Structure 1
Amino acid sequence: MEEEDNNDEEDDGNEDAEDDDNEDEYYSSIHRHAHNWFGEVKDPQAAGVALLNSGDFGKVAPKIRKRRDEQNLAKLVLRKSTRPTISAVQKEDYASNLVPNTNGTTVATYDANIYTAQFSDDSSFYYTCSQDFRLHIFDMNAPPVPLSLQRRGGIMPDPSLKTSMAVRKTIQGHPGRWTITDANLSPDNERMIYSSITPTVYMTSTSPDGSSAQIPISFSDTTRRYVRNDIWGSSDSFGIWSCRFSADGNEVVAGGNSNLFVYDLLANRRTVKILAHSDDVNSCCWADTASGNVLVSASDDTFLKVWDRRSLGTSQKPSGVLIGHTEGITYVSAKGDGRYIISNGKDQALRLWDLRKMRSSLEFDAVEDKFYGVSGFDYRYPHYPKPRYQAHPKDCSVMTYRGHSVLRTLIRCHFSPAETTGSQYLYSGSADGRIHIWSLDGRVVQVLDRAHTLPMSFDPSSPEPEPTSGLHSSNCVRDVSWHSQEPVIMSAGWENGRGGSVIARHEWKGLLKMPGAIEDWVERNNQEHAELASERRHSQRLAERARRFGRQLPGSFDSDDL
């Protein structure tokens, strides 16, 4: 469908090797060639507002308080503690409107490009995988260690990594092709899987004292012994771009080339193989955290497909197809309720889907061979031409979110944490070095700019200094992750194509820590009070005029008649 090579990430690497000298030019050209073919969403969209008010995305009361600008946390806690009839304060009550609002402080630098950078489900760990086939696991419960103390104490065993975070474990991955494409932590945080451009996923222990064994999980049709010198896997015809543990940690879903797989770890065998798409499966996931029966695959053929394992025995057709993107899809992420998912597309759109509104296989068959994208477009280059269509004619997505740049690599997107925000925000990295955070109603609520990220010598939780101006980011933010318990986002950005990443910590900082924020708040508050007083005076004049006019009408009612 798309005029791209099948192995996108591998080709990224070949192009990087050829164009290292022009990499800075590449990043600056993203800004020069940036075109906003899609207007900014300034007003809440009806479909998004309906989602916010549906109760499917957390409690409705905090959203109402936000609209009324009633966000006094102390007042909320006091009211609930003094009134027995009101339920106890839950995290979502006070954290749902706390969105990370800082451009970040560097907490780690690494000499290779980082492809996956995520918190564990409970956010006790933060883990990364990189192009040099190393995986790092950081202990987020341990206090930060300043670099000066690390040097003084001689505790910097990895010269390629400089970090203020506590390193729990460094894993040297099994050699593969070009890079580790994906990694995922098991629900119990005990195991990690990672993939490369080969048919084999490897599983290893995350414990510092655990086994260092690399257990192969083969998705190949035939089992073959690994050949030590065959690091390019020339005898294998496909790679794995995405892998995920199931909610119980007993299965792994993986996507590679045109196929979708499931591997049963207890039975030690592949249980599902589906020829799912006509192009690479860039991403896949489980639709829910309960049954594990529903799978979702996202492909360069522009489609997402939904598969129910219970019906695969009788038919290899999907249960439904999500149609809307006009270019290849870089990532899919599930809310976990078996109903809502989001996807990032090379058509520069993040789309929200309701699985109940997917197209049938018959509807898909009618449009499968039709292409609505831009002919000759290659997302690896810094220019997205004006599209012929803003969406597929058979678009069945619920909402579309724009503003970010899905270029250079397979940019990832996610739902905000359910426990603290009700998943009411969506967020994504971007090739221009910015992290976009959207409300479900379609509006961008925050943009975090890595061009203004502070060096590691700053404290991420200290008051924010005045931002500098006139900077252009040389970052490409591939992956971002929102802490499940705190208003904190971690972002992993590529510094340039020659290799090198910076991890930044973005916190929510209140008025006391934001530069000029108190003065701005006071001025804005005064203006709002002045506008409100003016509106009240105007309303009073209208009411008085109506009262006088009403007295002239026979039989009209007036309170003075009482």
Structure 2
Amino acid sequence: MLSNASTERGTVRNAAVTDIIRRLLQAHGASIRVPTTRAAPLGNTVNASDDEDEEEEDDHYYYRRGGRPTPRSAAKFFQTVVQPAKAGMDLLRSGEFGSVDLSMKKFSGKKTPLPRVLRDRELGNGAITREQLGRTCLPNSQGTIVGLYGANVYSGQFSADSSFFYTCSQDFMLHIYDTTVPPSAQIQRPPYPQQQRHRRWGGDDTEDHQTTMKTVKSMRGNLGGWTITDVDLSPDNERMIYSSITSTIYMAKTRDPTDEEQVPLNFHDRIGRRPRLAWDDDGEFGIWSCRFSADGNEVVAGAGNRQDGLLFVYDLQAQRRVLKITAHEGDINSCCWADTASGNVLISASDDSFVKVWDRRSLSGGKPSGVLVGHTEGITNVAPKGDGRYVISNGKDQGLRLWDLRKMRSSQEFEAMPRAHYGIPNWDYRSGAYQPPRFLAHPQDCSVMTFRGHTVLRTLIRCHFSPAATTGSSYVYSGSADGKIHIWSLDGKVVQVLDRAKALPISFDASSEAPPPTPQRNTTGVIVRDVSWHSSEPVMMSSAWAGPRMSSSVARHEWKGFGRNGMTLEDVVEKEASESAERSMPGAFAGVPHR
């Protein structure tokens, strides 16, 4: 048996050889993926010292011998939902997810086509609501590329009113687009800011940013750890914040393309010190997630250090951090505010597999108000419905879970639970293949619904509720490492799967009479990192990684009935109302034959 010293020398020697090979390959534009054998403590917690390496490894594919990527779909391990789940039906019947009448029509197994909806309105069967149209017209096209980037896009979201779309990418670039203007038939190559370019892997500048969207502003972010991890727009669309695995968040104005000022928001413990540059950060922790409050006056941030997950609140008016909580036993990958009415309830989701709820009015002893228990692996994203009651989370256990905060485990119940690990021992979600799970859920699972079929591997894939105004938030959707966008009804059934690899090229003109070209499948694989659903139109935007080469794209997915004609829900309602009024005039039906 080898001695410990010999083992350590061998480990160091192997690591050195691996590092040399990696550097040689990277110098020629190639890469390798080295599987880790890190022990998996509760929730697969990853030390903060590995954070930057984790994101670095996230951006390389894991190849088997022969050069083909490992299978990434995890759906084969779970049963396909055929019948609506009772718990989901109860949600739709509750009246908290839009019209109950519209929800109940789902269970009849028949979908009312749009012509029938309009005809019913003509016959006086009631006014057409935006929700009725929105539920009838879900985004269903494979998409058309509207943005190309030379680095991986980590987030792409509409603003709250969907008048803007914004992205952040691994080359520390942030882009803001005006989505009140339809995509152009001409491909634009907006100029980059004057700051020195930052590249880790080299590449052609001309391939960095091409778009058919109207660019409002492009900014070079302050350099931090590996990538910009998160970005958010203020409720009034005037400011943007972003994080990058340091203890500093930066805030910039959004509308003036010449204003390059970026205000540092320092979350570290050293008060009164001069703000450091991002690459000279104090190294206490790295921030992974950040969100504006509903009034735009505060920022919540989730971070991690060598031992714990940290949750913060920063007061923008006072210009200081006002709350720090040692919240988890692993990095906080995602955080948010529970509702849009107040800033009292915070939500944090961590690599320790738990979602925790924090009420700022009762933070005695630094304990959460409750814990949402159910995932068996780390959590990649948490998103609120916005009513202070429901949230969803994406987990590395390949489940998207829906939670009712009224059913959370109390802090006392959580502390009494055994600290056991119910996930897959020594499994790393970055390796590119999911293994048969030991448990489908934590024994104390308190989630209301679990949605399956997508694949959560390699990166922190995001999930969201559908828009309240047009769908009643009665759908949930997620990106996926299988290259698809998955949309579920709250009853658990899959209602739409869009294949991002089939998106039409950016050069395709949607207004042309010519048939679209046959999409060429990307055999190296596509990963959909983030998806965003327009608040008032049947339109989605997806941000996807293109493969082992560090490049990505944004695609626009529409309901096919609107996309070809360029009509919005507002157009349909106005057109239908106008035609209905004309038909109601005396003699309007004189020329209409009887049926």
- The bucket for the TM-score relative to the shorter chain is 0.7 to 0.9
1:553 aligns to what?
none
Looking at structure 2, the residues matched to 511 and 163 of structure 1 have their Cα atoms a distance apart, in angstroms, of 21
Using a 3 Å threshold, how does the CA distance of structure 1 residues 20 and 361 change in structure 2: closer, same or farther? closer
1:167 aligns to what?
215
Q: Does the 8 Å contact 1:9/1:409 carry over to 2? A: no
In the TM superposition, residue 432 of structure 1 has moved relative to its aligned partner by 1.4
State the AA in 2 paired with 1:297: S
Using a 3 Å threshold, how does the CA distance of structure 1 residues 77 and 308 change in structure 2: closer, same or farther? same
2:57 aligns to what?
15
Tell me, what secondary structure is at the counterpart of 2:69?
helix
1:94 aligns to what?
133
1:522 aligns to what?
none
Using a 3 Å threshold, how does the CA distance of structure 1 residues 366 and 212 change in structure 2: closer, same or farther? same
In the TM superposition, residue 437 of structure 1 has moved relative to its aligned partner by 0.4
In the TM superposition, residue 475 of structure 1 has moved relative to its aligned partner by 1.1
What does 1:491-502 align with in structure 2 at a 5 Å threshold?
Answer: 491-502=542-553
User: Alignment partner for residue 267 of structure 2, among 186, 206, 219?
Assistant: 219
Structure 1: state its 5+ residue gaps.
515-562
Q: Does the 8 Å contact 1:111/1:500 carry over to 2? A: yes
What does 1:283-432 align with in structure 2 at a 5 Å threshold?
Answer: 283-312=334-363, 314-367=364-417, 369-432=419-482
Q: Does the 8 Å contact 2:114/2:136 carry over to 1? A: no
Looking at structure 1, the residues matched to 503 and 65 of structure 2 have their Cα atoms a distance apart, in angstroms, of 18
In the TM superposition, residue 469 of structure 1 has moved relative to its aligned partner by 8.6
State the AA in 2 paired with 1:385: Q
Using a 3 Å threshold, how does the CA distance of structure 1 residues 310 and 16 change in structure 2: closer, same or farther? closer
Using a 3 Å threshold, how does the CA distance of structure 1 residues 114 and 362 change in structure 2: closer, same or farther? same
Is 1:275 the equivalent of 2:326? yes
In the TM superposition, residue 502 of structure 1 has moved relative to its aligned partner by 1.1
TM-score (norm 2): 0.79
Is 1:443 the equivalent of 2:493? yes
Runs of 4+ in structure 1 displaced over 4 angstroms? 19-27, 65-68, 77-83, 155-158, 460-473, 511-514
Structure 2: state its 5+ residue gaps.
1-41, 193-204, 566-595
In the TM superposition, residue 28 of structure 1 has moved relative to its aligned partner by 2.9
CA deviation string 1:271-314 (max 9, x = no partner): 111110111011000001112111110000011110100012x3
2:103 aligns to what?
63
User: Alignment partner for residue 296 of structure 2, among 246, 249, 256?
Assistant: 249
User: Alignment partner for residue 176 of structure 1, among 224, 229, 233?
Assistant: 224
In the TM superposition, residue 363 of structure 1 has moved relative to its aligned partner by 1.3
Looking at structure 2, the residues matched to 24 and 125 of structure 1 have their Cα atoms a distance apart, in angstroms, of 44
Q: Does the 8 Å contact 1:23/1:496 carry over to 2? A: no
In the TM superposition, residue 492 of structure 1 has moved relative to its aligned partner by 0.5
Tell me, what secondary structure is at the counterpart of 2:133?
helix
Tell me, what secondary structure is at the counterpart of 2:287?
coil
Looking at structure 2, the residues matched to 170 and 487 of structure 1 have their Cα atoms a distance apart, in angstroms, of 27
Q: Does the 8 Å contact 2:98/2:471 carry over to 1? A: yes
Using a 3 Å threshold, how does the CA distance of structure 1 residues 122 and 368 change in structure 2: closer, same or farther? farther
Tell me, what secondary structure is at the counterpart of 1:194?
strand
User: Alignment partner for residue 5 of structure 1, among 46, 51, 63?
Assistant: 46
Looking at structure 1, the residues matched to 518 and 524 of structure 2 have their Cα atoms a distance apart, in angstroms, of 14
Using a 3 Å threshold, how does the CA distance of structure 1 residues 368 and 162 change in structure 2: closer, same or farther? farther
Looking at structure 2, the residues matched to 116 and 512 of structure 1 have their Cα atoms a distance apart, in angstroms, of 24
- Aligned pair count reads 503
In the TM superposition, residue 24 of structure 1 has moved relative to its aligned partner by 12
Looking at structure 1, the residues matched to 321 and 241 of structure 2 have their Cα atoms a distance apart, in angstroms, of 15
Q: Does the 8 Å contact 1:109/1:162 carry over to 2? A: yes
Using a 3 Å threshold, how does the CA distance of structure 1 residues 211 and 344 change in structure 2: closer, same or farther? same
In the TM superposition, residue 63 of structure 1 has moved relative to its aligned partner by 2.9
User: Alignment partner for residue 42 of structure 1, among 74, 82, 85?
Assistant: 82
User: Alignment partner for residue 188 of structure 1, among 236, 241, 262?
Assistant: 236
RMSD: 2.7
State the AA in 2 paired with 1:375: P
Looking at structure 1, the residues matched to 186 and 357 of structure 2 have their Cα atoms a distance apart, in angstroms, of 47
Looking at structure 1, the residues matched to 344 and 67 of structure 2 have their Cα atoms a distance apart, in angstroms, of 43
In the TM superposition, residue 27 of structure 1 has moved relative to its aligned partner by 7.3
Tell me, what secondary structure is at the counterpart of 1:240?
strand
User: Alignment partner for residue 254 of structure 2, among 195, 206, 227?
Assistant: 206
Tell me, what secondary structure is at the counterpart of 1:296?
strand
